[in-house]
Structures are given as structure tokens and as C-alpha cells.
Amino acid sequence: QAQPLMLIDLGLADFYRPNQRYNVRVASRHYKSPELLVGYELYDYAIDMWGVGCILAGLLFRREPFFRGKDNVDQLRKIAAVLGTSDLRAYCEMCNIDWIASPDLQSIVSKPYAKKTWLSLVTPSCPIPSQVALDLLSQLLIYNHDTRLTAKEAMAHAFFDAVRDRVETELQQRYHPTSVSTTNIIEPPASS
């Protein structure tokens, strides 16, 4: 049975201003984006989309939270164990994060974690996710925040086609009915 679902957490809400530095000590650990975990202070809305990806992964693989680190360093290690370290290294370099100077970052980035396929994470307790679901997940759980889907882009993804189709049908029926009831139409008198 379909039930409404609302997710909200405004605990550290702030107005976003492009190119402004923000505190990286925000968000719940298991949903923290890579940019927060590597100390990148010029983050934006993409941190929220990472959290959406974590929730989606938890639902698809029946593992909540999907990345379960003991602390921030272990959290990044759990992410790297799935997404690999070569992309993490490239991401740190793109963001001018000196991972070599940070013993914690160096301990993660220097490990040779290979990127896993989503299907390799399927267990007997969860059904195999659809390709369209995995495609959405692949565009949400990526290191590079510049290429991560925005909320608008995610909502336009094929994963949500059925929802959009249902809503569109309901709106069409409510505001533009295609059939007109004839039970209340008065017929003109027959001419002789």
C-alpha cells in the first residue's frame, strides 16, 4: 500500500550563497557527502543530493544506513570501499585538498580500493534493483559534487516516470475530464 513519506531536517539550515565557505561539521555522519568528509568548505546543495543517494541505496540494498562509519574518517573509508579510491584521489585534487598532508585522508586515499558494481552489493535478502534505479543511484552517489544530479534533475530521471505519470493522470482527470456526463443535459423538444 502506498503511503506518503516526508523527509525533513532543518537543524543546520542556512541560506546558500555561491562561493561562500561553510562549516564542514554539519550533517548526520552516515549521510555526509565526500566534500564534507574531506573538508571542502565551498560546498552547495549537492550535499543534500548525496544524502538522498544514501537513503535510496539503503532502500535498494536493504541496508540502513548504507554507509555505516564509526566516525568521519571511517565514514569516508566505507564510501571509498564502494566507490573506489582512484576517483576519490582525483576528487581531492580537483578540490585542491592536500590529502597527503592529512594522515587520515592519506590512510584512505592511498589504499587500493577498486570501485564496486552496484550488483556486487546485492545480498540474498534484497531483490535485484532495476537498471533505472541503479542508474539514478550512480548519478547521486558520486564523489564529484559538480556532476552529481540536482534535485530537479533527479526528479526528471526515468526512475520517477511512474510517479509523474500517475500524478499527471490524476491532475488530468481532476482539471480536464475527457468525458462529459450527459445525465443532466436537457434535450430540446422534438420538432414536428
Answer whether 34's CB lies under 8 Å from 75's CB: no
Q: Over the chain, what is the mean pLDDT?
A: 91
C-alpha gyration radius of the chain: 23
Q: Is residue 104 part of a domain?
A: yes
Give the pLDDT confidence score for residue 118 in this predicted structure: 98
Rounded CA gap, 147 and 90, in Å? 14
Are residues 67 and 50 in contact, defined by beta-carbon separation less than 8 angstroms? no
- Please tell me the distance from the alpha carbon of residue 32 to that of residue 68, in angstroms, as a whole number: 11
- Give the mean model confidence (pLDDT) for residues 89-103: 95
Residue 148 has pLDDT above 60, yes or no: yes
Q: What per-residue confidence (pLDDT) applies to 188?
A: 62
Tell me how far apart the alpha carbons of residues 34 and 122 are, in angstroms, rounded to a whole number: 23
Q: Residue 133: what pLDDT?
A: 98
pLDDT tens for residues 179-191?
Answer: 555 555 566 666 6
Give a yes or no: residue 192 inside a domain: no
Residue at grid coordinates 592519506: 106
CATH of the domain at 109: 1.10.510.10
Q: Which of 85, 137, 136 is nearest to 107 (CA)?
A: 85
Contact (Cβ atoms closer than 8 angstroms) between residue 145 and residue 35: yes
In a domain, 13, yes or no: no
20-78, pLDDT tens digit by residue? 999 999 999 999 999 999 999 999 999 999 999 999 999 999 999 999 999 999 999 99
Q: Is residue 123 part of a domain?
A: yes
Cβ atoms of residues 88 and 143 within 8 Å: yes
- Give the C-alpha separation, 175 to 183, whole Å: 20
Confidence of residue 172 (pLDDT cuts 50, 70, 90): confident
Say how far apart CA 103 and CA 105 lie, in whole Å.
6
Q: Is pLDDT above 80 for 110?
A: yes
Residue 7 lies in a domain: no
What pLDDT is recorded for position 85? Answer: 98
Examine residue 23 and state whether it is found in any structural domain, yes or no.
Answer: no
Considering its fold, how many domains does the chain have in total? 1
Residue 6 confidence (pLDDT) above 80: no
Of 8 and 134, the structure prediction assigns the larger pLDDT to 134
| Strand (E) or helix (H) holding 132 | helix 131-140
For residue 92, is pLDDT > 90?
A: yes
Q: Of the candidates 38, 40, 42, 41, which has an alpha carbon nearest to the alpha carbon of residue 102?
A: 38
pLDDT of residue 191: 66
Q: Is residue 43 part of a domain?
A: yes
Q: Tell the burial category of 171 from Cβ atoms under 10 Å away from its Cβ (0-12, 13-18, 19+).
A: exposed
> What range does the domain containing 72 cover?
29-149
